[in-house]
Structure 1
Amino acid sequence: MDFAVALLVFKSLSIIASLIMVMHQIGGDRVYGIFFAGLGSVLFLPGFYHTWIVYYAYKGYKDFSFDNIPPV
């Protein structure tokens, strides 16, 4: 669970930083910003998915349990 939340948070920050890079607000080349945006987007999806499962399992929704999360 901690890994999923960390993945979600750090990749969200990566996407935000890369968008700022692309807009030339901080140092770096535009290519790096686009690269980090793509990488952040790809890694954001598993973090969001697993955090979503953990949240619904914690809230006790039907058909959601902590057993649905694959081991890391």
Structure 2
Amino acid sequence: MNYRYIIDRIEGDYVIVEKENGDMFRIIAEAIKGDFKEGDILVQENQFFKVDEKLTQHRNEEIYKKTEDMWQ
């Protein structure tokens, strides 16, 4: 099964992620291919992780929809 991990925060050489079931993990930043930031969704490919741009964009759109009327 391919799990999704949401980047919660970056602490030095480590990235703290939340797994879909709510478990928190620490991943060494070197194991993530490409650029990444808090809120991105990672998927695992063999021993590395990468940002899934499509899932991240979808998540951001869902958050925007849920919060857009809060600030009006």
Shorter chain as denominator, the TM-score bin is 0.3 to 0.5
Of structures 1 and 2, the one with the larger relative CO (CA 8 A, separation 6+) is 1
> Going by fraction, where is strand more abundant, 1 or 2?
2
Per the normalisation by structure 2, the TM-score is 0.33
